[in-house]
Amino acid sequence: MADPEPPYLQKLKSIPKQPFLFGPSPIQFLPRLSESLSPNHTVRIWAKRDDCNSGLAYGGNKIRKLEYLVADALAQNATHLVSVGGIQSNHTRAVTAAAAATGLHAVTVQQKWVPISPPLYDRTGNILLSRLMGGDVRLNDEGFSIQHRDATKAAMSDVVKAGGRPYYVPAGASDHPLGGLGFVGFVVELAAQERELGVFFETLVVCSVTGSSHAGLIVGAVAEGRHRRIIGIDASGKPVETKAQVTRIARDTAKLLDPGLEIPDEAVVLDERFHEGVYGVPGEGTLEAMRFVAGLEALITDPVYEGKTGGISRSSDIF
Q: What is the reported pLDDT for 2?
A: 66
Q: Do 298 and 163 share a structural domain?
A: no
Residue type (1 letter), 286: T
Q: What DSSP string runs through 228-287?
A: -EEEEEE-SS-HHHHHHHHHHHHHHHHHHH-TT----GGG--EE-SSSTTSTT---HHHH
Q: Do 160 and 249 share a structural domain?
A: no
Q: What is the reported pLDDT for 319?
A: 54
Answer yes or no: is 227 within a domain: yes
Q: Do 308 and 183 share a structural domain?
A: yes
What number is the average pLDDT over the span 209-218? 98
Answer yes or no: is 10 within a domain: no
Does residue 116 surpass a pLDDT of 60?
A: yes
* Count: domains in the chain: 2
Answer yes or no: is 4 within a domain: no
Does residue 1 surpass a pLDDT of 60?
A: no
Does residue 315 surpass a pLDDT of 70?
A: no
Strands 203-208 and 229-234: parallel
Q: What is the reported pLDDT for 310?
A: 82
Q: Is 89 a catalytic residue?
A: yes
Task: Tell which of 118, 149, 173 closes a domain.
Answer: 173
In the structure, what pLDDT confidence band is assigned to residue 218 with cuts at 50, 70 and 90? very high
Q: Do 217 and 109 share a structural domain?
A: no
Q: Catalytic residue, from 34, 54, 83, 89: name it.
A: 89
What number is the average pLDDT over the span 23-42? 95
Which residue would you say has higher pLDDT here, 148 or 120? 120
Q: How far apart are CA 78 and CA 102, in angstroms?
A: 11
Over pLDDT 70: what percentage of the chain?
97
Q: Do 197 and 84 share a structural domain?
A: no
Q: Do 306 and 206 share a structural domain?
A: yes
Task: Tell which of 138, 155, 173 closes a domain.
Answer: 173
186: DSSP letter? H
What number is the average pLDDT over the span 210-219? 99
Q: What is the reported pLDDT for 318?
A: 59
Reported as a single tens digit per residue, the pLDDT across 138-159 is 999 999 988 888 889 999 999 9
Task: Tell which of 173, 201, 216 closes a domain.
Answer: 173
- Do residues 93 and 124 make contact, with C-beta atoms less than 8 angstroms apart? no
Q: What is the reported pLDDT for 4?
A: 87
Average model confidence (pLDDT) across the chain = 95
Q: Do 199 and 309 share a structural domain?
A: yes
Could you tell me the CA-to-CA distances from 218 to 225, 262, 270 in Å, in that order?
A: 11, 11, 11
Does residue 313 surpass a pLDDT of 70?
A: no
In the structure, what pLDDT confidence band is assigned to residue 26 with cuts at 50, 70 and 90? very high
Q: What is the reported pLDDT for 301?
A: 95
Q: Do 160 and 75 share a structural domain?
A: yes
Q: Do 77 and 50 share a structural domain?
A: no
Q: What is the reported pLDDT for 302?
A: 94
What number is the average pLDDT over the span 212-235? 98
What range does the domain containing 166 cover? 68-173
CATH number, position 149: 3.40.50.1100
Which residue from 58, 69, 71 is spatially nearest to 25, judged by alpha carbons? 58
Q: What is the reported pLDDT for 147?
A: 80
Q: Is 39 helix (H, G, I), strand (E, B) or coil?
A: coil
What number is the average pLDDT over the span 25-44? 94
Answer yes or no: is 216 within a domain: yes
Q: Do 40 and 107 share a structural domain?
A: no
Reported as a single tens digit per residue, the pLDDT across 46-90 is 999 999 999 999 999 999 999 999 999 999 999 999 999 999 999
Q: What is the reported pLDDT for 317?
A: 60
Q: Do 188 and 273 share a structural domain?
A: yes
**Backbone phi, then psi, for 28, in 5-degree steps?**
-120, 125
Q: How far apart are CA 306 and CA 61, in angstroms?
A: 12
